[in-house]
Amino acid sequence: MSSLSASAENLTDTQTNDGSSMCLELALEGERLCKSGDCRAGVAFFQAAIQAGTDDLRILSAIYSQLGNAYFYLGDYSKAMDFHKLDLTLARSMNDKLGEAKSSGNLGNTLKVMGRFDEAAICCERHLTLARQLGDRLSESRALYNLGNVYHSKGKHMGQRDPGDFSDDVKEALMKAVGYYQ
């Protein structure tokens, strides 16, 4: 999860745009509510933050990420995917490789729970590639874990359709999962 608090630390104290200031305050309250377990109220604050507006694309990116995560936890995977896609687009437009990696991972996790395993794997592979390019071992480990989960879920899903002897496709997916978990 991206943290708005981290984005807030990057802002100068001389910020004069009242809309951006209000946006940040609303977003921080949304983050606090989500952390306390009230994602529905958090979503309302994030939406209000977007309405208040900001010129700071880092804050907007964090809001999109948080909205995607909140909708994910609420089980609204379609909306989660929409906001993770917005975050990914924004990260790419800012040439923010770490942001692109994180949003790719979030998108991959969302696609996985939607049963769109091949698309999820592509997103998680992108997360892994970027993490390795950046030399970010923590992000790399998350990407590997997420890839393992995608293939594990894919194998379980395919195995449910044909219980008994596993097909070669199921075995391949499960072996890929093991490889990423290692």
pLDDT bin (cut points 50, 70, 90) of residue 167 is confident
Query: Both tokens of residue 58?
Result: 């880092």
Report the share of the chain in percent with pLDDT over 70: 83
Query: Bigger pLDDT: 128 or 3?
Result: 128
The helix/strand/coil state of 149 is helix
pLDDT bin (cut points 50, 70, 90) of residue 179 is confident
Domain residue ranges in the chain = 1-95, 97-182
Instruction: With a cut of 70, say whether residue 11 has pLDDT above it.
Output: no
pLDDT one-digit tens code per residue, 16-43: 456 689 999 999 999 999 999 999 999 9
pLDDT bin (cut points 50, 70, 90) of residue 178 is confident
* Residue 79: predicted pLDDT: 98
Query: Both tokens of residue 87?
Result: 């975050």
Angle between helices 137-161 and 97-113 in degrees, nearest 10: 20
pLDDT one-digit tens code per residue, 63-77: 999 999 999 999 999
pLDDT one-digit tens code per residue, 93-132: 999 999 999 999 999 999 999 999 999 999 999 999 999 9
Class of domain 1-95: mainly alpha
Amino acid identity, position 115: G
Helix (H) or strand (E) holding 50: helix 39-52
Is the distance from CB of 43 to CB of 13 less than 8 angstroms?
no
Report the share of the chain in percent with pLDDT over 90: 71
Q: Where are the alpha helices (DSSP H) in the chain?
A: 4-9, 18-35, 39-52, 57-74, 77-93, 97-113, 117-134, 137-161, 168-181
* Residue 8: predicted pLDDT: 42
- Collect all residues with Cβ–Cβ distance below 8 Å to 98 and sequence separation of at least 6: 130, 134, 136, 139
For the domain covering 97-182, report its CATH number.
Answer: 1.25.40.10
Identify the weakest region by mean pLDDT among 49-53, 59-63, 118-122, 171-175: 171-175
Q: Across residues 141-170, what is the average pLDDT?
A: 82
Mean per-residue pLDDT of the chain: 87
